[in-house]
Structure 1
């Protein structure tokens, strides 16, 4: 089965990752790339200042960039991946949904909307059934699915593993790479020899999205998980890879090995881009891992890495890491697209 796909906002940092991940994909065939009016009509090579560490696929390089509106995307495109800025996505995505397109979006708008699935395929695939609610309430022929923020997606798989011990509180401090802000998001004069202890809106996203992802779906709505989640988000001068220090309080008292085993046993998904082992966990003989430079490309950047597991008076503390523009952005939307196909929504 071949599914024709398009990318909304294809020339940006996340759009370029989409193109990289779609090359030689077993199911998806890239059929359309869109960008701003200034880029429309140009070849992709002309429109995109390519910054990914592999060459532009030649067939994509010569594709003509379209404007980001339904009339510019072929009718036979089955699935759209959105990497638009949230403001643009909020105004543009509904037009595509009303036109009948299915959109797997990395944009932050509508993630917490009650009828929009916020999905990590390995964690809460059943939340896709909110699409039926969404279509009934909004009258769309299409469907909108969101993946979480890049910092959220790094932590939540580990929290899902801990929930078997009764997750009650999660406090996290992040060390986030500059690529999470986009190419021009943080200047070199701001970040070199520095750390910035604030990322606008990031803490609220982690605190709310985590509870929705871990929440229970009853067939009509999602009840947020009752854990108390608090985040402190910091930008550091690494290029890729978000490292996070998590302190979790649990109802039970697992040993460090219990925690490591629970994380290792967190199931992966049976999808083309899923890692064989979702969470890689370092033992207590390597307390200095994970590290962004050494571990961000685990499972081609699609997995999560954890380590430094220790017990505390009320629970555990540990570190976790994921590649923020692969697993945390384009790769997350790609997996949601694969799940949409697997579950028959496309």
Structure 2
């Protein structure tokens, strides 16, 4: 078994990591870290558990450590990071310098030239940037990122459409409140309302998608040259980001060809990978967050409403934002790292 730890284990994404790692066939959770205020407490005392399954019994009594390289045992093979970016930008490089491999959901360093930003079914070859990273930074460890929750919902569908020549992408998101964390959006702000602004989200979608779709060659990633524009909105659903996507391509695929491309999206033989990456619905009112966010155990993408427009193709897509869009994405990256010998 591979010994793993969770950084920032008491927060919403950290809790989701613990839920997903419970009973994992390859990873054994041995280390939990959090803020100094939580360090020294048993996990059940440090974390206000908010998920719909109980805290795993073997985790509840684990003592939480401070998030510090000196506090993490040297024999920990892989660390999953749910740290806030303000902490991650300081702690993650120190951990990598100390020899740890970190699979991170934190937003810091996603655009860095030598940091792999990875969706395993889309751009697994970008992991080869680790060699560049180690050479340039002198690290024995490694830092790998997954994209943000709205980007990871859309990009698997865009990757399927690259064969038609992606030129322009316009997306409007309807994002669940869990994407902001438990205390991120107050009830008075979101009930009976929609908020047409999520700070920094649009820029993340517009840049991260192009890096993910880019090609790795000659020790660098050449970002895809498609233009991407995004409008991001918060709505009062708990989980599941729904996105309305408009795509312009050099070729003119029919809706049937687009649906076939989605259904042919590659899958991987990894424990957390869904059997089918993109599920296509023919019903015009699907996908919907409440009905479809748990497809593939929350790791699949749902698509529907595919139709032609005057400029190209329009469709809707959906994914579970704290599973596929956060902890599950980092977990899948960790499985890929292990399968390819980086761990």
Question: Shorter-chain TM-score: what band?
Answer: over 0.9
SS at match of 1:122: helix
2:251 is aligned with 1:274: no
1:314 is displaced (CA, Å) by 2.2
For 1:113 and 1:243, the matched residues in 2 are separated by: 28
Q: Partner residue of 2:176? A: 177
Q: Partner residue of 2:291? A: 294
SS at match of 2:248: strand
Deviations 1:208-232 (CA, angstroms, capped at 9, x unpaired): 0000000010040000000000000
Deviations 1:124-152 (CA, angstroms, capped at 9, x unpaired): 00000000000000001100000000000
Deviations 1:59-100 (CA, angstroms, capped at 9, x unpaired): 100000000001111111000000000010001111111100
- The 8 Å contact of residues 130 and 219 in structure 1, kept in 2 or not, is answered as no
For 1:23 and 1:189, the matched residues in 2 are separated by: 35
Unaligned ranges ≥5, structure 2: none
SS at match of 2:120: coil
SS at match of 1:331: helix
Q: Partner residue of 1:253? A: 252
For 1:71 and 1:254, the matched residues in 2 are separated by: 55
2:340 is aligned with 1:343: yes
- The 8 Å contact of residues 129 and 219 in structure 1, kept in 2 or not, is answered as no
Q: Normalising to structure 2: TM-score of the pair?
A: 1.00
Unaligned ranges ≥5, structure 1: none
1:270 is displaced (CA, Å) by 1.5
2:150 is aligned with 1:151: yes
Q: Partner residue of 1:311? A: 308
Matches within 5 A, 1:29-40: 29-40=28-39
Q: After TM superposition, which residue ranges in structure 1, 4 or more long, deviate above 4 angstroms?
A: none
Matches within 5 A, 1:141-220: 141-220=140-219
Query: Could you tell me which of 317, 323, 328 is aligned with 2:325?
Result: 328
For 1:293 and 1:106, the matched residues in 2 are separated by: 24
For 2:93 and 2:263, the matched residues in 1 are separated by: 39
1:269 is displaced (CA, Å) by 1.4
Count of residue pairs the alignment pairs up: 343
Q: Partner residue of 2:97? A: 98
- The 8 Å contact of residues 240 and 324 in structure 1, kept in 2 or not, is answered as yes
SS at match of 1:289: coil
